[in-house]
Amino acid sequence: MDYFVYKNGKLHVEDLSIDKIAHSVKTPFYCYSSSAMKKNYNELANSLSGLNTSIFYAIKANSNLAIIKLFSDLGAGADVVSEGEIRRALEVGIPNDKIIFSGVGKTKKEIAFALNKEILQINIESEAELHLINQIASDLNKKAKVAFRINPDIEVNTHEKITTGKKENKFGIPWPEAKEVFVKASKM
């Protein structure tokens, strides 16, 4: 089903005329189809049925509370990159144990906030970040739940500005060092 269609020369979202929306709210505005989002989510969830998987909505994609809530109601957790996004996820009712903190540049304050909220995990981007998280967790008398982002140093045929898997991209722990960093983490 198409959720954005022209009827009698007027654009509609689902069965609602965009003109009617424009007359009732200030313009410009963003217009989303919750039916389209639900359909796509359910198709993904159904394609993964029978597997031990979880779906996490990346709040950085769109931090609109209604959209975060829609995905939460469908069963998604949240993939966040800041304290503000953790707060948004919690505000709409995503349980703390369904929140993953990803991304580079996490601050000490954000890491402490995530640890105090006892989120599912913090994704480690580097050995230095592992040591920082360990220090903050120790200071708070907490044990950090972590996962590792590994850089596989694989060439992907994409635009050079969006590639993330090559060694020179500096995202994640270089795969030759991964086991050593994991062993260090297991002793923390």
Which pLDDT belongs to residue 154? 74
Which pLDDT belongs to residue 66? 97
Helix, coil or strand: residue 77: strand
Which pLDDT belongs to residue 160? 64
Beta bridge partners of 147: 123
pLDDT in tens, the chain (188 residues): 789 999 999 999 999 999 999 999 989 999 999 999 999 999 999 999 999 999 999 999 999 999 999 999 999 999 999 999 999 999 999 999 999 999 989 999 999 999 999 999 999 999 999 999 999 999 999 999 999 999 887 767 766 665 555 455 567 898 889 999 999 999 99
CA distance 77 to 143: 21
pLDDT in tens, 45-90: 999 999 999 999 999 999 999 999 999 999 999 999 999 999 999 9
Q: In 31-111, which ranges are E strands?
A: 56-58, 77-80, 99-101
Helix, coil or strand: residue 58: strand
